[in-house]
Structure 1
Amino acid sequence: MPDARLVLFTRYPEPGKAKTRLIPAVGEAGAANVHRQLAERTAAAMRASALEIEIRYTGAEATRFADWLGADLSLIAQGDGDLGDRLRAAIGAPPVIFVGADCPDLTADLLREAADALTKHDVVIGPAEDGGYWLIGIAARYDFLFTGMEWGTEVVLPETLRRLAEHDIEPKLLPLLADCDRPEDLARWPWLTT
């Protein structure tokens, strides 16, 4: 099996449009700055993993993303539809690992662990404390994981696990990590707001 491809879904850090749930705590510019830092940390961890990288972007043109995150990265517009539609469109040729830009504790070692897990398992999941996941990797095209999902809610992980069980697929679970999405999350990583 070929090495897994890492796919980061991110948006341009434009004030008022990035990390909007953080705006009440840190303002529009502060929320955009948190997002900028998280996306840059994620891209650095992806680079350090030595795996193939693809950035699925929205919120600005590819040239602005190249200037921001690096012209060496493969940049592809996210396209239309809900997150599930965009994830399905990005599957391409598995194995593929989808990564969000919300997890300050993501490391290159965790990404390599996920890629290694996909050589032995059909699905790998990095569960998040908020009931979602910070990473999902698939060794085959499992579109059923990305349709009709209540994205951004605490039911994403349990529903994903339920669907996998229905298909007799036991995922490899990575360590439980926390996302930085809500104002109360900022207390865990105070350096994000300095």
Structure 2
Amino acid sequence: MSNNMDLTVVVIAKECLPGRVKTRLSPPLSPEAAAAIAQISLTQTLDTARTLPAKSRWLVMDGTPTAHDAEGFTVVAQQAGGLDERLAAIFDAVTGPVLLVGMDTPQFSAHHLAPLLADWRSGAPGHDAWIGPATDGGFWALALRRPSGRLVRGVPMSTESTGQRQRERLVAEGLSVGTLTELTDMDYFDDAVAIASLIPATKFAHAVHAAADNPQYPAALSGARL
């Protein structure tokens, strides 16, 4: 996608190390397999982010990204604190319109963001913010035309009401909030299987099916020892 707009795309992520990432995929997966699936999800998310019409792209990372993942992104270390504080630090640091997504929705595409992109490209945007609700009650995307950490700081994260509480915070601040398509976050392996069914021709889907069929994944896939 071309015709870049005044938008910073931010992906917040964690280094995909066994036992430190996507631990709720285990069981049924081993920690190594869970980390491998997480890495593919992150890489696919970043590949999609590169196609968006943004003026800049940030990878806000807990840990060290691979060389491929870092390509085309300004890599920024995550701040300390709870998730609300880490998100707030991002929104305090970015100037101008910003879209933030996580690493757990590899099925997201520019199509899912079409209403936001059309709105903010118009001469008179109708919404100050956009939120992409997740099926678990959280959100997979949050976009702010005038970012500020106070818009997220203190919102309870990782609960069944996080998305609604975040929307309420934005509305209480007088913002008009648009809604993107609801997507499923990859929290558990059943979620990964459901996501894979939506994007069957991708590396993510192939990896999920390989992990489901072969207990030695990812060693069997790579030909290497775990």
Matches within 5 A, 1:154-173: 154-173=160-179
Q: 1:125 aligns with which of 116, 121, 131?
A: 131
Matched letter for residue 25 of structure 1: P
* Alignment match, 1:54: 58
Q: 1:147 — aligned with what? A: 153
Does the Cα contact within 8 Å between 2:9 and 2:58 map onto a contact in 1?
yes
Between 1:137-146 and 1:170-179, the stretch displaced more is 137-146
Give 1:162's aligned amino acid: E
- 3-state SS, counterpart of residue 26 of structure 1: coil
Match of 1:29 among 7, 12, 32: 32
Mapped partners of 1:77, 1:116: distance in 2: 31
Distance in 2, Cα, partners of 1:170 & 1:113: 14
CA–CA distance in 2 between the matches of 1:38 and 1:134?
A: 13
1:66 is displaced (CA, Å) by 4.7
TM-score using structure 1 length: 0.88
Conserved 8 A contact 1:144-1:163: no
**Relative to structure 2, which stretch is displaced further, 164-173 or 153-162?**
164-173
Q: Which moved more, 1:128-137 or 1:47-56?
A: 47-56
Tell me if the contact between 1:11 and 1:59 (Cα under 8 Å) persists in the aligned partners.
yes
Distance (Å, rounded) in 2 between the aligned partners of 1:66 and 1:113: 32
Q: Which amino acid aligns with 1:128?
A: A
Alignment size in residue pairs:
189
Match of 1:96?
A: 98
Displacement over 4 Å in runs of 4+: none
1:74 & 1:144 partners in 2: Cα distance? Answer: 23
The residue type equivalent to 1:94 in the other structure is G
**Any gaps of 5 or more consecutive residues in structure 2?**
198-204, 211-226
Separation in 2, partners of 1:113, 1:47: 18
**Deviations for 1:52-99, whole angstroms, at most 9, x for unmatched residues?**
211001123xxxx25141433211111211122121221221311111
Q: Which amino acid aligns with 1:48?
A: T
Please tell me whether the aligned partners of residues 49 and 112 of structure 1 are also in contact (alpha carbons under 8 angstroms): no
Look up the equivalent residue of 1:56 and give its one-letter code.
Answer: V
One-letter amino acid of the structure 1 residue matched with residue 45 of structure 2: T
* CA distance 1:128–1:117, change in 2 (3 Å): farther
Contact 1:56 1:76 in 2 (8 A): yes
Give, in whole Å, the separation in 1 of the partners of 2:113 and 2:47: 11
SS in 2 for 1:25: coil
Q: Is the 8 A contact 1:118 1:138 kept in 2?
A: no
Tell me which amino acid in the other structure corresponds to 1:72: G
Could you say if the C-alpha distance between residues 87 and 118 of structure 1 is closer, same or farther in structure 2, counting changes exceeding 3 Å?
farther
Q: Which residue does 2:112 correspond to in 1?
A: 110
